[in-house]
Amino acid sequence: MVGAGQLARMTGQAAIGLGIGFRVLAASPTDSAALVLAGAVTGDYTDLAGLRAFARDCDVVTFDHEHVPGAHLAELEKAAADGSGPAVRPGPAALRYTQDKLAMRERLRALGVPCPRYAPVTDLAGVSACAAEWGWPVVLKAVAGGYDGRGVWVCGTPAEAAAVLAHPVAVFAEEHVPFQAELAALVARSPHGQGAAYPVVQTVQRGGVCHEVLAPAPGLAPRLARNAQRLALELAAALDVTGLLAVELFAADGGLLVNELAMRPHNSGHWTIEGARTSQFEQHLRAVLDLPLGDPRMAAPQVVMANVFGSGSADIYARYEHVMAADPGVKVHLYGKQARPGRKIGHVTVVGGDLGGLRDRAARAAAYLAAGREEGA
């Protein structure tokens, strides 16, 4: 797995369980996954020679992020095609749509997939033309490199748009969707073409960053849930995704609109570690290794996951005492990351039947781990 963040770390835990040889290419020996997994290789994923050297010892190469340059992916794919290198899953033709959001929008439009209205823009006149049609605010999105709210600007006025356009970053414009909820549909697809869909979840964002995931999405009409699963499976097939595909959706008045795509384990699927029969991390491994997929069904009626954010304050481990004493059923996952303010450093999961109670418990545990005090207590 290229990349050694928390996604690689949790994929590594799943690989240990399955007895599958698993190596990460880490930017630094202190990366989340490199800290805990044997045989981590340190190297630069923007360096083709290093990528090739890493790939040489693999049967399959996969990714914990979408930042490997497309030209390098093409070289790896060429080696896979002529048998001189390992399989690349997902392949560059699919990954392109996570690396270039404008290309993604164009592909989805060609496929007839409902999306927010969008337009390429290069200057304020272009943005103003969009606003004239859609109204303000207008969303400007970086074509490449954005995630976790970075690279997304909600502009309420021409002046705000002008400030974004002053950045040396290619952007495009999207309508601002007044959604009722944000959803995520997570599916897996194997090279054989087998697919498996997890229950659709609701994600709760603040400042563009996911704070909470509710599985299954509360109040979602079964018909819409089935539509979202079918859409994600069809997209995975149409884009030839191997591994996981997370489809982030807006539930709006007119129905479901696709917001973002990711082709890797995804924050909206962390709840599956305890909450589903097969975790997304095991599922990703099974899919990229072309093994039969695991049962994606829930292991409890309701599951809530809350992210833990760094507060910049002292040693987080001392807080374990309090969190564990307060709630013996909360499952804590920490990623071994330095607790810089605002950084995702872990997550907590609770399973059960009572959504309101689970949300309270998850929020309290996450807030305590983040800040050393109970939010609202």
Between 139 and 288, name the residue whose CB sits nearer to its own copies: 288
If phi > 0 it is left, if psi is from -120 to 50 it is alpha, else beta; for residue 54 that is: alpha
CB distance 64 to 11 below 8 Å: yes
| 299 exposure class (CB count in 10 Å sphere: 0-12, 13-18, 19+) | middle
Between 33 and 55, name the residue whose CB sits nearer to its own copies: 33
If phi > 0 it is left, if psi is from -120 to 50 it is alpha, else beta; for residue 219 that is: left
Between 22 and 118, name the residue whose CB sits nearer to its own copies: 22
Q: Which of 238, 276, 242 is nearest to 258 (CA)?
A: 238
With H, G, I as helix, E, B as strand and everything else as coil, classify residue 44: coil
CB of 216 to its own copies, least distance (A): 18
CB of 364 to its own copies, least distance (A): 15
What whole-number distance in Å separates Cα of residue 164 and Cα of residue 300? 44
CB of 295 to its own copies, least distance (A): 4
CB of 189 to its own copies, least distance (A): 15
Between 17 and 312, name the residue whose CB sits nearer to its own copies: 17
Between 169 and 299, name the residue whose CB sits nearer to its own copies: 299
CB of 282 to its own copies, least distance (A): 9
Residue showing tokens 């809530």: 304
What whole-number distance in Å separates Cα of residue 62 and Cα of residue 102? 23
Between 253 and 321, name the residue whose CB sits nearer to its own copies: 321
With H, G, I as helix, E, B as strand and everything else as coil, classify residue 196: strand
CB of 160 to its own copies, least distance (A): 39
What whole-number distance in Å separates Cα of residue 23 and Cα of residue 12? 8
CB of 121 to its own copies, least distance (A): 43
CA distances from 268 to 74, 128, 189, 279 (A): 29, 34, 17, 12
CB of 38 to its own copies, least distance (A): 5
Between 13 and 227, name the residue whose CB sits nearer to its own copies: 13
Between 20 and 224, name the residue whose CB sits nearer to its own copies: 20
CB distance 42 to 28 below 8 Å: yes
Between 57 and 133, name the residue whose CB sits nearer to its own copies: 57
Residues whose CB falls within 8 Å of the CB of residue 338, separated by 6 or more in sequence, listed in order: 310, 345
CB of 217 to its own copies, least distance (A): 22
Residue showing tokens 């990349």: 3
Q: Read off the DSSP letter of residue 6.
A: H
CB of 233 to its own copies, least distance (A): 16
What whole-number distance in Å separates Cα of residue 331 and Cα of residue 188? 25
Q: Read off the DSSP letter of residue 233.
A: H
Task: Kindly list the residues in this chain that would bind its own copies in the complex (CB under 8 A).
Answer: 9, 12-13, 15-20, 22, 34-38, 40, 196, 274, 277-278, 286, 291-295, 299-300, 316-317, 320-321, 324-325, 328-329, 331-336, 346, 351
Between 97 and 335, name the residue whose CB sits nearer to its own copies: 335
Q: Which of 64, 70, 237, 213 is nearest to 143 (CA)?
A: 70
Residues whose CB falls within 8 Å of the CB of residue 212, separated by 6 or more in sequence, listed in order: 203, 204, 304, 305, 306, 307, 359, 362, 363
What whole-number distance in Å separates Cα of residue 27 and Cα of residue 45? 7
